[in-house]
Structure 1
Amino acid sequence: MAAPADPSPAFAGEAGAAPAAGRGLGSTAAFAAPASGRGSAAALATPAPLLPALAGFFFDLLLWVFLLAGGSLLGTVAWGFVQGLNGASPAQAGPPMAVSLAIGLLATAFAALIVYYFRRNANAVERSAAWRALSRPFTWIWIATAIIVLLSGSSLADKLTQALTIDATPTNAVLSEPLHRQPALWLVFAVLIAPAYEELMFRRVLFGRLWAAGRPWLGLALSSVAFALVHEPPGLGAGRGWGVLVLWSVYALMGAVFAWIYRRTGSLWAAYLAHAGNNLIACLALMDGP
């Protein structure tokens, strides 16, 4: 199976440089590269204290979860209010699946943008370096390699679950029906929009915070675990038993690959394009099914 879709940069400068915690403005700030130069590399010779870095990481994560939950609740209440004004009964006021998915996607995007803008906005130097990284051939080689690695890992996971008769149906399989009914709309959401806000949150904000603190491997591990748990929440997702562990492994691999390509190329655009390519393949697989 293709790596599950979401419901939704070699360094641009000197190797070893970490992302700056600037506050630049503009839409392309989202896809910023790490700041480069001797000063940045030297600053990482001694990692920042661990506890403050971890505190910042978990604060950002909890803030995002709080905003996501609040946005989803407000969206659902607003839908019910409008339905009530239109004369729907209480039993009919709940949003259908497609509307629930849209509310969740919009709430997730809103939460990610708020955390990014106020917690780890990018500066002009990072934005410029991110764009320059896309002009280098090896950036595109890394993007293609990332997609191949993810497809291979997902294929191995699929064969394992079949051999062991484990049900590892991902929660995002609910996208199958909307994709069949409105393919253009949901392809835009899942392929273009969802990877954008997820890269902002999980790579730029979470991974980037620990990377900037001189602890990139810890950031890669923790942000990948968070990425997996958010996509398959324990007890709330479609998977059960050993199937959940398989899905967590697949999503954690995805998170690790996207973090690696961000660090290796110095541009969040590279991670975004790899993420979008993976989601496109996964959506096409869902559309090909019943």
Structure 2
Amino acid sequence: MSEPASSSVPSAPRADGMRIVVPPPLPLRGPLLAFGLDALLALVMMFALMMACYFGWALWRGVRLAMQHDGALAPDALAAQLGAPGALVLIVMTLISMGCTSLLLYVWRRRATPAERAHSFAAARRFRTWAWVLAAGVATFLLSSLLTWCGRRLGLEPNPSNLALIEAGFAQYPVFLSLFVVVLAPLYEEVLFRRVLFGRLWAAGWPVLGVALSSAVFALMHEIPGLTGNPPLTTVFLLAVYVAMGAVFAVVYRHTGTLWAPIGAHMLNNALALGMLQASGG
């Protein structure tokens, strides 16, 4: 997990303060098609893995029900008693589907070279990098909090569609839910949205477009219009919040030259949000 090769990092600062010569951007068609393919593969993989997890859970649940009733349940009765996965199961399904998708696309489509990894770890050892992490983590938390407050003043209830799941998971499994929200989710999301998607266009010399498109995909993966149960205006508002957050993380990645920086900022944002959620009682 690291930045694009230094020869393709537009205007990234060297450790000695010199500037890397900015190469001319590649023709947009090829990188844009590759970006679209990456996004499509991510969507297909996540959906396929989520369905596989659901069918695996349904099979396990059905076998358990059949054993409890000595196989006497009719198929219709068995289907009626299956129910829906609980909070823990849904969180694990999400972890498997998105985590595996991010890892597979990283290895298959955007694996870091040894030179990239060395450059990334060198950047991660600089004080400036962690100043960016602290500033960005606090800024995204304050920005999302301010936008949420503004939304409520406008008569909206901009609650993310995954909020109920997070609250239920924290009530039953606080340690695991905290680990998932603060550590695991930022790791796989930054690998996918910043390294794979944003990094694709950044390395091709189109960083501004990369920020815009990767942030849009980041938002759509969190709030899918028409499937969240939120009114259209609330959905648009939440999408804008996620776009802003994704843009901040992409800018941090570009200015620090290491993926560990947006990962750290994302972790800090989520930790602050989870802490505020619990402090306010939900």
- Which TM-score band applies after superposition, normalised by the shorter structure? 0.7 to 0.9
Confirm or deny: 8 A CA contact 1:179 1:287 kept in the other structure. no
How far is the alpha carbon of 1:64 from its aligned partner? 0.8
Secondary structure at 1:170's aligned position in 2?
Answer: coil
1:141 counterpart residue number: 131
2:148 counterpart residue number: 158
2:184 counterpart residue number: 193
Aligned length: 260
Between the aligned partners of 2:28 and 2:204, the Cα distance in structure 1 is 8
Confirm or deny: 8 A CA contact 1:232 1:248 kept in the other structure. yes
Question: Is 1:285 aligned to 2:263, yes or no?
Answer: no
How far is the alpha carbon of 1:196 from its aligned partner? 0.7
The root-mean-square deviation of aligned C-alpha atoms, in Å, is: 1.9
**Deviation readout 1:95-151 (Å, 9 max, x if unpaired):** 223312221221111111111110000011111221121221111111111022212
1:116 counterpart residue number: 106
Counterpart residue type for residue 3 of structure 2: A
Among 23, 34, 40, the alignment partner of 1:62 is 40
Question: Is 1:261 aligned to 2:252, yes or no?
Answer: yes
Between the aligned partners of 1:114 and 1:53, the Cα distance in structure 2 is 19
Question: Is 1:83 aligned to 2:72, yes or no?
Answer: no
Confirm or deny: 8 A CA contact 1:112 1:198 kept in the other structure. yes
Secondary structure at 1:86's aligned position in 2?
Answer: helix
Query: How does the TM-score come out when normalised to structure 2?
Result: 0.87
2:50 counterpart residue number: 72
Counterpart residue type for residue 159 of structure 2: T
Between the aligned partners of 1:280 and 1:203, the Cα distance in structure 2 is 20
How far is the alpha carbon of 1:158 from its aligned partner? 2.0
2:71 counterpart residue number: none
Confirm or deny: 8 A CA contact 1:168 1:243 kept in the other structure. yes
The percentage of counterpart residues that share the same residue type is 37
Q: Which has the larger radius of gyration?
A: 2
How far is the alpha carbon of 1:152 from its aligned partner? 2.4
1:24 counterpart residue number: none
* Runs of 4+ residues over 6 Å off in structure 1: 38-43
Q: Classify 1:74/1:43 alpha carbon distance in 2 versus 1 (closer, same or farther; 3 Å).
A: farther
Among 156, 173, 184, the alignment partner of 1:182 is 173
How far is the alpha carbon of 1:284 from its aligned partner? 1.8
Confirm or deny: 8 A CA contact 1:169 1:238 kept in the other structure. no
Counterpart residue type for residue 32 of structure 2: L
